[in-house]
Amino acid sequence: MVLSVADPGGPAPDAGQFYMLAAAGRWGGGADERPFLPRAFSVARRHGDQRQRVLDFLLEDVGPGTERLAELDAGDDVWLLGPLGRGFSPPRDGRRPILVGGGVGIAPLAILQDALGPSTLTLLGFRDSAHAEGAKLVIDPLVATDDGSVGHHGLVTELLAPELGADAEVCACGPPPMLEAVRALCAEHDVPGQLALEAGMACGFGACFGCVVPTKNGYARLCVDGPVLDAAVLRRVEHPGA
């Protein structure tokens, strides 16, 4: 689902930046609820000028925080901190950007496509047709589904491989196995890539070191050094099956 949050007077987020969100009420304070920290969400789209700023977030209900945010009614208050982190950089040397996303990870591709232009090639992968509804967030995407119910029957990286000409630059976000496949393809084709990674985040602003990931240059705190990292600094994108 899409959660729209008014942030009047707030700064304009860049594509790939994120916010820490919590419901102002009933956020873990109830007798039988565990208290929890705000949760990190990529901004999917921004609307309005600074005075009337509205931010869209794409939520996948995976636990108590996303469940609580998903049940908010219009007008309910939301606690919001951001924009945080480093987002996507403009493609270098006039390269042709290719946007690649999977599942709920497609959120930052909407605001990135808004910035780069509606004709930017955007490739999206989903489990099935129900999840592929999220493709409506972007303009004219090429879609792949695991079960073949919409678009290409297979992985989104199968759509990406033939597009990797010498002038390409890939901007990707999605589940870690997909990002690892994108990283490997970029390395194989000697094409630059920018990968929006995720890690559990407690503070969101560099204080807790809960979000560190290994890079070729040591550990990076994803909340301040990322969440978008240059694919070339990663030996691999860590994930349970790696």
Asked if residues 122 and 113 have their Cβ atoms less than 8 Å apart, the reply is yes
Q: How far is the CB of 214 from ligand FAD (least distance, A)?
A: 16
Q: Which of 80, 223, 231, 234 binds ligand FES (CB under 6 A)?
A: 223
- Does 8 bind ligand FAD (CB under 6 A)? Our answer is no
Q: How far is the CB of 188 from ligand FAD (least distance, A)?
A: 26
DSSP state of 218: E
Asked if residues 16 and 86 have their Cβ atoms less than 8 Å apart, the reply is yes
Q: Answer with the entry of ligand FES, ligand FAD, none that 142 interacts with (C-beta below 5 to 8 A by kind).
A: none
- Does 203 bind ligand FES (CB under 6 A)? Our answer is yes
In sequence order, what are the beta bridge partners of 220?
A: 213
- Does 198 bind ligand FAD (CB under 6 A)? Our answer is yes
Nearest one of 102, 185, 167 to 138, comparing CA atoms: 102
Asked if residues 104 and 98 have their Cβ atoms less than 8 Å apart, the reply is no
Asked if residues 98 and 168 have their Cβ atoms less than 8 Å apart, the reply is yes
- Considering the complex, state which of residue 208 and residue 232 has its C-beta at the smaller distance from ligand FES: 208
Is residue 106 classed as helix, strand or coil in its secondary structure?
Answer: helix
DSSP string computed for 155-173: -HHHHHGGG--TTEEEEEE
Q: Answer with the entry of ligand FES, ligand FAD, none that 208 interacts with (C-beta below 5 to 8 A by kind).
A: ligand FES
- Could you say which residues in the range 137-166 bind ligand FAD, by CB under 6 A? none
| Site residue total, ligand FES (CB under 6 A) | 12
Q: Which of 207, 214, 219, 239 binds ligand FES (CB under 6 A)?
A: 207
- Considering the complex, state which of residue 184 and residue 199 has its C-beta at the smaller distance from ligand FAD: 199
Binding mask 71-110 for ligand FAD (x = CB under 6 A): ---------------------------------x--x---
Start-to-end CA distance of the chain, whole Å, equals 30
Q: Answer with the entry of ligand FES, ligand FAD, none that 206 interacts with (C-beta below 5 to 8 A by kind).
A: ligand FES
Q: Answer with the entry of ligand FES, ligand FAD, none that 27 interacts with (C-beta below 5 to 8 A by kind).
A: none
DSSP state of 133: G
Asked if residues 39 and 104 have their Cβ atoms less than 8 Å apart, the reply is no
Asked if residues 194 and 89 have their Cβ atoms less than 8 Å apart, the reply is yes
Element of type H or E holding 65: helix 64-70
- Decide the pairing of beta strands 142-145 and 152-153: parallel
- Considering the complex, state which of residue 10 and residue 204 has its C-beta at the smaller distance from ligand FES: 204
Residues that bind ligand FES (CB under 6 A): 201-204, 206-211, 221, 223
| Binding interface with ligand FAD (CB under 6 A) | 18, 39-42, 57-60, 62-66, 104, 107, 198-201, 227
